[in-house]
Amino acid sequence: MSARDFQLAFASLIASPQTCCELLTAEEPFFTRFHLTEKEKLRLRAIVRQKGISACCSLYRMNRVTPVYSQLSNTCALLKDKLIPLIEEFWQYLTKPSLQFREEVLEFGDFLMNKIDLGTIHLPYLKEVLQLEMAMNELSYLPEGEYRMLSFEHDIFFVLQALAEGRLEEAVVPYSTERYKMYIKNDRVEMETAEDSCIGLEVNQSSTIRTTLETK
Amino acid sequence: MKTEQLGIGILYNASLPEYLGQHMDQLDYIEIIPDMFWSDEGRGQQPRFRPLPKWMHQLDWIAGRVPLVAHNIGISIGTIDYFDEEYIRFMRQMHETYQFQWHSDHLSFLKLPTKGPHDHNAGIAIPVPYDEEYLTMIGKKVEFIRDTIDIPFLLENNVYFVEYPEQDYTETAFVNKLVSNHHCNILLDIHNLHVNAINQGADAKAYIDELDMENVMEMHIAGGNDMNGFYMDSHAGPCPDEVWELLDYAVSKAPNLRGITFEFHESYFPLLQFDGLNRQIELARNTWEKYHLKHQGYERA
């Protein structure tokens, strides 16, 4: 039990600079949460006093934010400086991550959608972009043939293009009443409208979405 | 257990398909992280491991062209009171399909057990304390892995940012004992040695001198970069000069080396491009050819 708790205690330090500070300032409340031998306590005291613990904490944050940032890149771009406080709030809520890309993205997406629905976050186009990226993420784990039906209040391709070009805030975005079928074909995410045109979505090297429109 | 000398390989990532389509002849093998090719639905789920169609399509394409090597990130061999036998058995199925030349993981712990279907992920690979207790525990897992999958199993040396006081062994003594008592092999990550030399002042050449180099079957090389006063094992593009120098030193002492693998993170592909990748492979091959000529398969003692 003790060695197992030592590993849990070390992991909890890496996951939280605040917990490191707690151990540095008042160690008993931290130690009482775990069954530790004196040698393990000594090791944790030593670890938290080494400057390398900050590198461990930074790596944890980078590794944990990577799934969200790579799979929901446009959502993150829309959130701008709201992203980090939201991510930190999400980490308080989901304290035992699997770091599986799919789970982490789904959990964060649901967390964010809940906030949007409650009105605690209000950003133009955020809900639509999040819906699009969540559907893309979901489909990327499913075999060809699976699809998702999506509709947007605005021209989602215009939104993505303007976002990529940094002119979304001043752009006049057209409204939309289209419904789209999103699916995977030949390793590409594609969307089809009721008018039977086919739109290919590609995730490029910087994980932003490029759009091309080809009429069948 | 015989394995062929392969030569120079690359760790597969999502930026590589186009490069491989044009330059596969530069490479002797591809190393994959099998965990990237499936989605783990969690313990008790049926099926638990769901292949990702797009990635499997790539894997099948590669497997038809060059030998494959597996480099896992999910065994978490150093976790106390935890061993995911289901995961190992799934790896055996993968091996039966793709005939990996060898497979490996890290000498660290990453996953922590929970009561739910998914493990808690510690977020970074944490080195184990080099204590007798851990030696025994890891040794048993190594034996299970070897009994389950009939190819050499390698453990990779760690990057570390903090040190445990009062350990029973040094890292090299721990690894040497693990290898000799439990018949596994070593994946020597040259860049990890370089990272530890910069951040901790560790003597990389002394590490190589102390290590049982007869059992080193694979080496990793990579680049890194600085972050907040630390040098990170970020696989950030080309290898620094110190890594090439250390590689030369290590290869000269590793008679049973089977392959040198270049690792880079896909986000650094724009920095490398096709020519940059070819250059790294060419430099690795120069070192390889300096010390290794093709010879018959190596049989582990």
- For the stretch B49-52, contacts whose Cβ atoms lie closer than 8 Å and that sit 24 or more positions apart, written own/partner, are B49/B90, B50/A141, B52/A140, B52/A141
Is the pLDDT at B6 greater than 90, yes or no? yes
Q: How far off is chain B from A33, nearest CA to CA, in Å?
A: 16
Q: Tens digits of per-residue pLDDT, B281-291? A: 999 999 999 99
Inter-chain residue contact B162 with A50, CB threshold 8 Å: yes
Residue B50's pLDDT band (boundaries 50, 70, 90)? confident
Query: In chain B, whose CA is at the least distance from the CA of A189?
Result: B54
In this prediction, residue B113 carries a pLDDT of 83
Is the pLDDT at B128 greater than 60, yes or no? yes
Q: Tens digits of per-residue pLDDT, B13-45? A: 999 999 999 999 999 999 999 999 988 888 888
In this prediction, residue B42 carries a pLDDT of 83
Rounded to an integer, the average pLDDT of B266-273 is 94
**To the nearest 10°, the Cα dihedral for B108, B114, B119, B125?**
-20
- Closest C-alpha among B187, B3, B188, B11 to residue B104: B187
Inter-chain residue contact B50 with A141, CB threshold 8 Å: yes
Residue B297's pLDDT band (boundaries 50, 70, 90)? very low
Chain A within 8 Å of B180 (Cβ-Cβ)? no
Judge contact between B72 and B49, C-beta under 8 A.
no
In this prediction, residue A98 carries a pLDDT of 65
Rounded to an integer, the average pLDDT of A86-91 is 91
In this prediction, residue B16 carries a pLDDT of 96
Q: What distance in Å separates the CA atoms of residue A199 and residue A192, rounded to the nearest whole number?
A: 6
Q: Which two tokens stand for residue A190?
A: 């594609």
Q: Tens digits of per-residue pLDDT, A128-157? A: 999 999 999 888 888 778 899 999 999 999
Is the pLDDT at B299 greater than 50, yes or no? no
Report the DSSP pairing between strands B7-11 and B29-32.
Answer: parallel
Q: Given phi > 0 = left and psi -120 to 50 = alpha, else beta, which region is A133? A: alpha
Query: Using a CB-CB distance cutoff of 8 angstroms, which residues of chain B are in contact with residue A140?
Result: 52, 54
- The pTM score is 0.89
Phi and psi of B67, rounded to 5°?
A: -65, 155
Q: Which two tokens stand for residue A182?
A: 């999103």
Chain A within 8 Å of B232 (Cβ-Cβ)? yes
In this prediction, residue B236 carries a pLDDT of 95
Is the pLDDT at A205 greater than 50, yes or no? no
Is the pLDDT at A215 greater than 80, yes or no? no
Name the H helices within chain A: 2-14, 17-25, 27-31, 38-49, 52-71, 73-79, 83-93, 101-118, 126-139, 156-164
Is the pLDDT at A68 greater than 70, yes or no? yes
Query: Using a CB-CB distance cutoff of 8 angstroms, which residues of chain A are in contact with residue B166?
Result: 39, 42-43
Rg (CA), chain B: 18
Is the pLDDT at A209 greater than 50, yes or no? no
CA distances, B292 to each of A129, B209, B216, B262, B285 (Å): 54, 19, 14, 17, 10
Q: Which two tokens stand for residue B147?
A: 């009994």
Chain A within 8 Å of B84 (Cβ-Cβ)? no
In this prediction, residue B39 carries a pLDDT of 85
Is the pLDDT at B180 greater than 60, yes or no? yes
Is the pLDDT at A208 greater than 70, yes or no? no
Mean pLDDT of chain B: 93
Is the pLDDT at A203 greater than 70, yes or no? no
Least confident of A201-205, B5-9, B291-295: A201-205
Judge contact between B15 and B32, C-beta under 8 A.
no
Rounded to an integer, the average pLDDT of A34-47 is 96
- Contact partners, residue A119, CB within 8 Å, separation at least 6: none
Is the pLDDT at A214 greater than 50, yes or no? no
Query: Using a CB-CB distance cutoff of 8 angstroms, which residues of chain B are in contact with residue A35?
Result: none
Q: Select the residue of B40, B124, B229 nearest A60 (Cβ to Cβ).
A: B124
Is the pLDDT at A207 greater than 60, yes or no? no
In this prediction, residue A201 carries a pLDDT of 61
Q: Which two tokens stand for residue B274?
A: 């096709």
In this prediction, residue A204 carries a pLDDT of 38
Interface of A with B (CB under 8 A): 3-4, 6-8, 10-11, 14-15, 39, 42-43, 46-47, 50-56, 58-60, 63-64, 96-100, 102-103, 140-144, 184, 187, 205
Phi and psi of A18, rounded to 5°?
A: -65, -40
Is the pLDDT at A85 greater than 60, yes or no? yes
- Contact partners, residue A100, CB within 8 Å, separation at least 6: A67, B39, B40, B118, B121
Q: How far off is chain A from B15, nearest CA to CA, in Å?
A: 8
Neighbours of A50 (CB within 10 A): 14
In this prediction, residue A200 carries a pLDDT of 60
Higher per-residue confidence, A183 vs B202: B202
- Closest C-alpha among B123, B32, B27, B29 to residue B71: B32
Chain A within 8 Å of B123 (Cβ-Cβ)? yes
Query: Using a CB-CB distance cutoff of 8 angstroms, which residues of chain A are in contact with residue B161?
Result: 50, 52-53, 55-56, 59
Inter-chain residue contact A7 with B112, CB threshold 8 Å: yes
Q: Could you identify the residue written with the tokens 């099998």?
A: B34
Chain A within 8 Å of B80 (Cβ-Cβ)? yes
Higher per-residue confidence, B44 vs B223: B223
In this prediction, residue A35 carries a pLDDT of 95
Bond prior to B47 in cis (omega within 30° of 0): yes
Is the pLDDT at B298 greater than 70, yes or no? no
In this prediction, residue B44 carries a pLDDT of 83
Q: Select the residue of B80, B109, B118 nearest A103 (Cβ to Cβ).
A: B118
Is the pLDDT at B82 greater than 60, yes or no? yes
Inter-chain residue contact A52 with B40, CB threshold 8 Å: no
Q: Select the residue of A59, A100, A187 nearest B57 (Cβ to Cβ).
A: A187
Planar angle of CA B228, B226, B244, nearest 5 degrees: 155
Rounded to an integer, the average pLDDT of B172-189 is 97
- Closest C-alpha among B52, B38, B48 to residue A143: B52
Query: In chain A, whose CA is at the least distance from the CA of B234?
Result: A59
